[in-house]
């Protein structure tokens, strides 16, 4: 069974693609046409979307700095870097649920303490459908995008909604 997202050949009856995790349920049913399963706009690469450059901090930076950068750039997440390597991601949810409170000093907690370490990433050539599948299956709202194995942007659910909504009317 060929995955419609990444074109990997999977064993018959597989529920998910062994390469990208795309749901394959129902694609092996009689009459299912693999070629027409998804419209073109969900097979477009993520590089075709307009994504904002991601804000960055280091693991040793205070959370207060991350919050100020997210506010000034109008984003809900920030990448945590260790040199050129992506070490983690911090979202507004992380700040609210892991550190914020009436007696908390956001400058006394480091980004490394609250980040989600080693987040799942996508590549700029991955499809919109793969991003949808990863976000829905993993419960993610933000996913870093890699170009040449280095983080270049973050895609979030609003980016996907903006891309999909004109096609759903």
CB atoms within 10 A of CB 87: 19
Residuewise pLDDT in 10s, the chain (169 residues)? 788 778 888 888 787 888 888 878 666 554 445 444 567 888 899 999 988 888 999 999 999 999 999 999 999 999 999 999 999 999 999 999 999 877 788 999 999 999 999 999 999 999 999 999 999 999 999 999 999 999 999 999 999 999 988 887 6
- Domain spans, the chain: 1-36, 46-167
Which pLDDT score is estimated for 55? 92
CATH class of the 46-167 domain in this structure: alpha beta
List of residues 6+ apart from 134 with CB closer than 8 A: 21, 120, 122, 140, 143
pTM: 0.74
């Amino acid at each position: 069974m060929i995955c419609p997202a990444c074109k990997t050949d999977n064993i018959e009856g597989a529920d998910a693609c062994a390469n990208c995790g795309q749901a394959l349920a129902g694609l092996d049913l009689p009459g299912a046409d693999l070629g027409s399963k998804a419209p073109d706009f969900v097979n477009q690469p993520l590089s075709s979307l307009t994504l904002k450059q991601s804000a960055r901090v280091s693991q040793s930076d205070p959370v207060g700095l991350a919050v100020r950068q997210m506010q000034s750039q109008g984003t809900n997440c920030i990448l945590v870097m260790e040199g050129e390597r992506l070490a983690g991601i911090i979202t507004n949810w992380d700040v609210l649920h892991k550190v914020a409170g009436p007696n908390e000093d956001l400058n006394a907690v480091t980004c490394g303490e609250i980040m989600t370490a080693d987040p799942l990433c996508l590549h700029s050539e991955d499809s919109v459908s793969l991003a949808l599948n990863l976000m829905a299956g993993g419960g993610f709202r933000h996913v870093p995008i890699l170009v040449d194995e280095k983080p270049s942007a973050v895609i979030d659910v609003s980016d996907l909604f903006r891309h999909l909504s004109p096609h759903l009317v």
